[in-house]
A and B are shown apart, each in its own frame.
Chain A
Amino acid sequence: MTFGVYVSQMLENLFNAKMRSFLAVLGIMVGTASVVALVSGGELATLNALVQFEQLGTNLLSVGVQSADQGATQAVGTQVEVKDLETVKRKVATVKYVAGYTNLYQPISYAGNSIDGSIVGATESLAQILRIKMHTGRFVSNLDKDADYCVLGKNVAASVKQDGGGDLLGRQISVGSNIFTVIGVMQKAAQNPFMSSDLNDAIIVPLQSSLYLSKYAQIRNLIFRIQKNSNIAMAQKNITKVLNAVTSGKRFFFRSSQQILKSMDSQHRTFTWMLGFIGSISLLVGGIGVMNIMLVSVTERRREIGIRRAIGARSIDIQYMFILESIGLTMFGGFVGVLVGVLASYVIAVFAGWSFHIFPLPPIIGFLVSVLTGIFFGFYPAFKASKLNPIDALRSD
């Protein structure tokens, strides 16, 4: 008996029990679909995060400055000051750029309408490090010092623009009790894991100006771009040394691209394991369902088994026949499951705003696993069928 005959008979037999075949593979379908969807979704998330990193480069290092005494609300000890940034850059050779920034919240309004947004005090190096692109005008520069200039994030610019079109440059924005003149509007800034605030929702003012705006304003965050291929741990150590020398009562928390990638990787791995586990459970349940259906099918088709044996089927032919039907079932389930899963990952991508991409591995694995499930769970019913005595099989009704 050739393989083609096995397959065509399998299809015929499955088709003769459409409804049951469909119900049998529902579990396999759901299992495969969820695994494919979730693993693809995870891959998409990682891919999109990596794209961000590629835009920013992998040699960024951010530092959070915190009071060593956590309970203190008031400024304690000596702060990081604007001039200290220069000092760090001078003393640590591997630092290419350094930017410190402040983050504060004051009422912002334009022409009497209040605008949602935070205030970020920054220097021009922030634009270099984060590769900020301007829509119009320019970013704050070192020459601005404590000038009353401001740069608008994309969303802030949009809400200013609601009050009439035209050029935004030169308009007057009131921040707290001060008036700032717009000197630039940024393009949409990509999300990045080094900044706590979203630049799209921010008004950027010169760093020194922000320190004058509020007595609470402090440089609590620094971002460094390190020279390519230099030792980040070393840079981290040297930066800490210099910062400790110029400040007091502070602790420094570092975040490097490598660290973030690593934690993302380990997160991803746990995620994958977890999904693998959930997937195996649902495939196990689906597989048991298939085995159940195949056992019923073997019992119902005892007569047929007897007839086939009488006219010349070997017991191995009977075994092949049922295993192939089981594989056919799970393969169908796996196929539909893969389609549904990929579709679901597409929906996930659309809702998360990620760019979509089909990864070959999850569908292939999902499909293969469903086939293996068919072999594994079809084996026992098929074996049972093949061991049936032809006379007993014929006598049953």
Chain B
Amino acid sequence: MIKLVDVRKQYKAGEDIIEILHGVSLEVKEGELVAIMGPSGSGKSTIMNIIGLLDWKFSGDYYLGDKKIAGLYDAELASIRNREIGFVFQSFFLLPNFTAAQNVALPLIYAGVSANERKERALAALNKIGMQHLADRRPHEMSGGQQQRVAIARSLIADPKVVLADEPTGALDSKTSQEIMDLIKALNKNDKKTIIIVTHDLKVGKQCDRIIFVKDGDITDKLEEF
């Protein structure tokens, strides 16, 4: 489903060029639930951004499904992000002036779905995770766990094959974290979503099919304590 081959990422810092990823290769199969773990600053988010097509300035090869991601136009990248990938972030990233339902429906706007259908599908998505009663709440009127559920509903609204979650439980207490993890596991099991989670929490990592460890921009197969 997802395959990175010798992916390198460099930043210019004044005169110097710093390499953040030194040739990362990894593969995630369809329907897998994978955790990425590693110390802070090791490059986990950088990898996620490349997989999520938020960052297309890297060297190496990236295959998503049977497509090679190279030299795509902005509109093509946007369309893939819109239809094939769902994002979940540590701090939820809901639009503050939008209601839960409006936030959930947002990706459908860029998919050209009609207003009525957007609303219908957003409510159905909220319903599925038991959140329909909060449809008209704005983010600041919801708890962190509730916001993250709304964000997960948003990531699923366009029915993507892949969901990328960068520290989805990082801002939540352990009880709420587990609830979110249960939801994510259910999505993986029942809806056959391919899911990648970046986490610092080994308890979260252990619930995944496998863990990919990152250290200083390299994949390591050794488990270390962080």
A residues near B81, Cβ cutoff 8 Å: 309-312
Known contacts A5-B115, A391-B49, A391-B55: does B97 contact A311 (CB below 8 Å)? no
B residues near A314, Cβ cutoff 8 Å: 74-75, 78-79, 110
A117 to B121 alpha-carbon distance, docked (Å): 85
Give the secondary structure class of A's interface. helix
The residue among A1, A13, A303, A310 with the most chain B CB atoms within 10 A of its own CB is A310
**A382 CB, min distance to chain B CBs, angstroms:** 15
Known contacts A390-B54, A391-B54, A394-B93: does B107 contact A312 (CB below 8 Å)? yes
- Which of B54, B79, B111 interacts with A309 by CB under 8 Å? B54
Are B54 and A311 interface neighbours, CB within 8 A? no
* B95 CB-CB contact with A under 8 Å: yes
The residue on B at minimum CB distance from A307 is: B93
* B112 CB-CB contact with A under 8 Å: yes
**B44 CB, min distance to chain A CBs, angstroms:** 13
Known contacts A12-B97, A304-B95, A391-B55: does B49 contact A311 (CB below 8 Å)? no
Are A311 and B74 interface neighbours, CB within 8 A? no
The number of residue pairs between A and B whose CB atoms lie closer than 8 Å in the complex comes to 65
B residues near A391, Cβ cutoff 8 Å: 49, 54-55
B residues near A9, Cβ cutoff 8 Å: 109
A313 to B158 alpha-carbon distance, docked (Å): 13
Are B97 and A16 interface neighbours, CB within 8 A? yes
The residue on B at minimum CB distance from A311 is: B107
A139 to B115 alpha-carbon distance, docked (Å): 78
Chain B: residues with Cβ within 8 Å of the partner, total of 26
Are A303 and B93 interface neighbours, CB within 8 A? yes
The residue on A at minimum CB distance from B46 is: A391
The residue on B at minimum CB distance from A303 is: B93
A391 to B115 alpha-carbon distance, docked (Å): 29
The residue on B at minimum CB distance from A393 is: B54
Known contacts A310-B52, A314-B74, A316-B75: does B97 contact A1 (CB below 8 Å)? no
The residue among A13, A308, A311, A391 with the most chain B CB atoms within 10 A of its own CB is A311
The residue among B54, B78, B94, B154 with the most chain A CB atoms within 10 A of its own CB is B78
What is the 8 Å Cβ interface bit string for chain B, positions 79-113, against chain A (1 contact, 0 not)?
A: 10111000101000111010000000011011110
Are B110 and A310 interface neighbours, CB within 8 A? no
- Which of A4, A317, A390, A394 interacts with B110 by CB under 8 Å? A317
* A2 CB-CB contact with B under 8 Å: yes
B residues near A32, Cβ cutoff 8 Å: none
- Which of A12, A306, A312 interacts with B158 by CB under 8 Å? A312
A1 to B74 alpha-carbon distance, docked (Å): 15
What is the 8 Å Cβ interface bit string for chain A, positions 278-294, against chain B (1 contact, 0 not)?
A: 00000000000000000
Residues of chain B in range 109-142 having any CB-CB distance to chain A below 8 Å: 109-112, 115
B residues near A317, Cβ cutoff 8 Å: 78, 110
A residues near B109, Cβ cutoff 8 Å: 1, 5, 9
B residues near A306, Cβ cutoff 8 Å: 93
* A155 CB-CB contact with B under 8 Å: no
* A118 CB-CB contact with B under 8 Å: no
Are A1 and B110 interface neighbours, CB within 8 A? yes
**A299 CB, min distance to chain B CBs, angstroms:** 16
A13 to B83 alpha-carbon distance, docked (Å): 25
The residue on A at minimum CB distance from B93 is: A307
What is the 8 Å Cβ interface bit string for chain A, positions 1-27, against chain B (1 contact, 0 not)?
A: 110110001001100100000000000
The residue on A at minimum CB distance from B95 is: A304
Are A311 and B75 interface neighbours, CB within 8 A? no
* A315 CB-CB contact with B under 8 Å: yes
The residue on A at minimum CB distance from B92 is: A307
The residue on A at minimum CB distance from B91 is: A397
- Enumerate 24 A-B pairs (CB-CB under 8 Å) in ascending A order: A1-B109, A4-B115, A5-B115, A9-B109, A12-B97, A306-B93, A307-B106, A308-B106, A309-B54, A309-B81, A310-B54, A311-B110, A311-B154, A312-B78, A312-B79, A312-B82, A312-B83, A312-B110, A314-B79, A315-B74, A316-B75, A390-B55, A391-B54, A394-B89
Known A1-B109, A312-B82; further 19 A-B contacts with Cβ < 8 A: A1-B110, A5-B115, A303-B93, A304-B95, A307-B94, A309-B78, A310-B54, A310-B87, A311-B81, A311-B87, A311-B154, A312-B78, A312-B107, A314-B74, A315-B74, A317-B78, A390-B54, A391-B55, A394-B54
The 3 closest A-B pairs by CB, nearest first: A312-B82, A312-B110, A314-B78
